[in-house]
Amino acid sequence: MNYVLLVFIIILALIILPIFISFKLYYNVLLNTLVFSFSIFGIKIINAQGKFKGAQLVIFGKKKDKNFKFDPQDKHLQFLNKFIYLLFLKIKITKLNIFCDVGKTNDAFTPCIIKSSIDIVLRSLLGFAYTKKGVFNTVVGGEVNFEQNKFIFSLNLCLFLNLFLVLWCLVQAQIKIIRGSNYAKCR
């Protein structure tokens, strides 16, 4: 009987207590290479590389490459968009680091202007995020390189949420997809 109570308490704690999640993204615009990793409690769950080809994302695997097409009419993509939107409303961001490295070999003025413009846009978006999500630890940085052509964007996001909110957002997204399809049929 005590084991049943212990298992119930552990399951309840997993549902209610926050889960710490880390997401890292590295994208080289010039070479069109993407590296991303996803970890929970410091344990890497996903660590993958890929690149964009037109309207699809190609993720390189050990045995076989996987293609993900971005079709706005796809039901799975609509569900994912709604789920991510609802989840973003519920999460608590703890740390956000954004770095952008820009460089061009034949001109010194252009990378400085590009880097400054990107910093202005990123800091404006962070100001908007502060008003919506509250204060969190933020670093916006990068460098201008005058020796080589490069345009690298990297993002490190740490957040926490609990399993109950994830399940709640899944249910809400599914309800919104069902209501949306029923609304389209009624027209």
> In the chain, where are the structural domains located?
2-186
Rounded to two decimals, what is the model's pTM? 0.69
Model confidence at 187, in pLDDT bands (50, 70, 90)? very low
pLDDT tens for each residue of 138-158: 888 888 888 888 888 888 888
**What value does the mean pLDDT take over residues 85-99?**
84
pLDDT at 1: 55
Q: What is the separation, in whole angstroms, between the first and last Cα of the chain?
A: 56
The structure tokens 């400085």 sit at 112
Identity of the amino acid at 43: I
- Residue 133 C-beta-side C-alpha neighbours within 13 Å: 22
pLDDT tens for each residue of 162-182: 888 888 888 888 888 887 755
User: CB within 8 A of 144, min separation 6: which ones?
Assistant: 101, 102, 103, 111, 112, 115
